[in-house]
Structure 1
């Protein structure tokens, strides 16, 4: 009964939740965006305003025809909650080659309609600290060294890991950057093979996946772009590139 009441409060009555420990409660991550071209799953990103999505550099569209799908959970069916919006503009943080930065902003061709299934996530008001328990979400494989066909949105609980320990697990060809934050440990599920997978801590956006190290060795933390370092740049991009003649949605959540 308590679960039914919770689902009703979230507007999820009628949805089927498998109860899989790695599956997100349907539509509990209304900021999650799927970036795809021609129907195939490419990457994830996070909606931060009705016009903008942030994702990793490797996930940014390199050609026209990329669509952002919002309000998704089960990729195998149209649930009636989706909004499919083409990408109009891509802004990369520069210099944007690893190991310096991995962050891109995608402007939608029209504003997302904000509702219970599609909502932006606030930018971080502070940086995450080692030991903080966060959530990472995406549609990629959760089985190390194995491909899984994308289906239901997955959520993993992961701890933020100390920078020095994380750096010590890097292969020789990857170097540490102050723009990185790491999460995951050998005692938790630590594989989500979805570029741009979203790291959320206490309701705030703290990262987008940079390297999915936990999918190659479950004892290694995965690496995320440390979004708290980029608040100023993100807001400057939105101020400069967002279309001027817009009518804000009455449901838009202010960013922190």
Structure 2
């Protein structure tokens, strides 16, 4: 059912004329979440109660809003669900800087529809040369600091792990990461915790934005396939201790 809804969403969005070729087709990434309030970051919806984001994007509970079903952050499109964050759980054990992952629990469940859908967790790791999609509200111009008001999308290839480490020798002991992007592709998208999806599965959350500093360098993402077991364990053992407040707005 989820795959059918996603297919419908991509098909519907394809008819929308875009002024900016790097702007995502509106609502073609129904799993993409905008965190705002105590932080300003992207995240990915993986369950009606849960989203994931990078370590440094840990939000403050009840002071951070997760906006789902959003494309243009400057207007209310009628598709949004704005839900307060109730809990943030950083990867444990965390031995800086080896892991970059935060699980975020919503204070109320998301309502799945055409515009809000979870992205499946990885069933495998990304393959070298595989073409993936990266989305976020940043700028694709390294000289422009202002974020985009509309969701941007890039298409990037996965880079070989050895080539990634040879490019960034200091990252050798930095933990589980995957690199994507190269000089012949659009390789710059600013913003925190941009979401990388490969073959319909969540494969990365942006860690280091190297592609904007040097277009010949790939960008580094958290390698999500290595965290599936931990994510599921957190979801399985979590219990609600207090009643959930309602959505802010829908």
In the superposition, the TM-score normalised over structure 2's length comes to 0.87
* Aligned with residue 186 of structure 1, among 169, 178, 183: 183
Tell me which stretches of 4 or more aligned residues in structure 1 moved more than 4 Å. Answer: 6-13
1:103 alignment partner in structure 2:
101
Alpha-carbon distance, 1:75 to partner: 1.1
| Runs of at least 5 residues in structure 1 that lack an aligned partner in the other structure | 1-5, 247-256
Q: Which residue does 1:253 correspond to in 2?
A: none
Superposed, 1:75-224 pairs within 5 Å as: 75-170=73-168, 172=170, 174-224=171-221
SS in 2 for 1:102: coil
Q: Deviations over 1:49-102 (max 9, x none)?
A: 000000100111146411100000011111000000010001110233543100
User: Which residue of the partner structure matches residue 230 of structure 1?
Assistant: 227
Residue of structure 2 equivalent to 1:30: 30
Distance 2:133 2:239 in 1: 29
Whole-Å separation in 2 of the counterparts to 1:170 and 1:62: 32
Change (3 A) 1:98 1:245: closer
Structure 2 matches for 1:2-21, cutoff 5 A? 10=11, 17-21=17-21
Once the two structures are TM-superposed, the CA of residue 242 in structure 1 deviates from its matched residue by 4.9
* Structure with a larger share of its residues in helix: 2
Match of 2:48 among 42, 47, 50: 50
1:104-161 deviation per Cα after TM superposition (whole angstroms, max 9, x unaligned): 1000000000000000000011000110000000001111243133311001000000
Looking at structure 1, the residues matched to 186 and 96 of structure 2 have their Cα atoms a distance apart, in angstroms, of 26
1:30 deviates by 0.1
- Rounded to whole Å, the distance in 2 between the matches of 1:12 and 1:245 is 39
Distance in structure 2 (CA, Å) of the matches to 1:114 and 1:63: 23
Structure 2: 5+ residue stretches without partners? 1-6, 244-250
- Whether contact under 8 Å (2:36, 2:64) holds in the other structure is yes
Q: Deviations over 1:16-42 (max 9, x none)?
A: 54252211110000000000007xx71
The 1:132–1:98 alpha-carbon spacing in structure 2 relative to 1, beyond 3 Å, is farther
Moved more, 115-124 or 53-62: 53-62
Give the secondary structure class of the aligned counterpart of 1:121. coil
Instruction: Tell me how many residue pairs correspond in the alignment.
Output: 237
The two structures have a TM-score, normalised by structure 1, of: 0.85
* Cα distance change on mapping 1:17 and 1:82 into 2, 3 Å: farther
| Inter-partner Cα distance in structure 2 for 1:153 and 1:9 | 15
The Cα RMSD (Å) is: 2.5
Counterpart contact for 1:208–1:225, Cα < 8 Å = yes
